[in-house]
Homo-oligomer: A and B are copies of this chain.
Amino acid sequence: MPPHVVNSHVVYTALDLVGTFAFAISGAVAARQRRLDLFGIAAVAFTVACGGGIVRDVCIGAVPPAGLSNWRYLAASLCAAALTILAYPKIRRLRHSVLLFDAIGLGLFAVSGAQKALTYGHSAELAILLGIVSAVGGGVMRDVMLSRVPAILEREIYASAALLGAVIQVGLHYAGWSNAWTPWLATLACVTVRLASLYFGWRLPVFGEARENGVRERP
């Protein structure tokens, strides 16, 4: 995260770790349900929390990636894995809180990912794409590692909410608004859309019949 966006704001840093923690909880829960072992749970938790940011950092040349070199991300992921192992029934009861924190993480990662790309001097298009990657990349890796089609590709408003957050942040940045305000507005928009889609059951359209075959796929 660029210093003037994150580190100077204690609140922002705290929220960033809350997002990391929420993402790691979602990874640890999925890994535990698939009966992975101790190491597997920790590895999937860390991957969900930091995978997207690592890809973003590699793509903009910010190596080593913050997710690997900043110990706070690893610590937050391991805490989430430990909590999921030790207090699983409690985590189950907290499912609504987990979804809430996950939505906050989604918004924060989309916005701070886009902003980091802008801070490194890249274009609006790249910033928006990498904002989405930061927010949803870890979840895609989790699903790929658990050998299933990534959930964000077939259900719910999730990546679309990240897209909205990244677009607002980049748009306001180019419009010259102060960086003191824009990340909060953009994050709020993303979180609101995500939570509203959960509450109202909004989904993106799916097309065609279940059993269409025709165009031979590229092998």
Q: Smallest CB–CB gap between A213 and chain B, Å?
A: 7
Query: Interface code A146-157, partner B: CB below 8 Å = 1, 0 otherwise?
Result: 111111111110
Bound CA–CA A35/B155 (angstroms): 10
16 additional A-B pairs beyond A35-B154, A64-B126, beta carbons within 8 Å, are A29-B215, A33-B217, A35-B207, A36-B206, A39-B163, A40-B150, A40-B153, A60-B64, A69-B123, A85-B207, A92-B214, A99-B218, A139-B218, A139-B219, A144-B145, A156-B219
Query: Interface code A116-132, partner B: CB below 8 Å = 1, 0 otherwise?
Result: 01000011011001100
Give the number of residues in A that approach B within 8 Å (Cβ atoms). Answer: 83
Q: Smallest CB–CB gap between A214 and chain B, Å?
A: 4
Q: Smallest CB–CB gap between A57 and chain B, Å?
A: 9
Chain B residues with Cβ below 8 Å from A146 are 149
**A209 nearest CB neighbor, chain B only:** B35
Q: Smallest CB–CB gap between A46 and chain B, Å?
A: 9
A32-B208 in contact given A95-B215, A149-B147, A217-B26 (Cβ < 8 Å)? yes
Residues of A contacting B: mostly: helix
Q: Tell me if A6 counts as interface (CB < 8 A to partner B).
A: no
Q: A: which residues have CB within 8 A of B?
A: 22-23, 25-27, 29-41, 43-44, 48, 54, 58-61, 63-65, 68-69, 71, 74, 85, 88, 91-92, 94-95, 98-99, 102, 117, 122-123, 125-126, 129-130, 139-140, 144-156, 158-160, 163, 203-208, 210, 212-219
Q: Smallest CB–CB gap between A167 and chain B, Å?
A: 14
Question: Cβ of A63 and Cβ of B60 under 8 Å apart?
Answer: yes
Choose among A26, A58, A205 the residue with the greatest number of B CB atoms under 10 Å from its CB: A58
Chain B residues with Cβ below 8 Å from A48 are 218
Query: Among the listed B35, B69, B204, which residue makes an inter-chain contact with A125, where contact means beta carbons less than 8 Å apart?
Result: B69
Bound CA–CA A41/B152 (angstroms): 11
Bound CA–CA A148/B102 (angstroms): 27
Bound CA–CA A36/B35 (angstroms): 27
Chain B residues with Cβ below 8 Å from A25 are 215
Question: Cβ of B26 and Cβ of A153 under 8 Å apart?
Answer: no
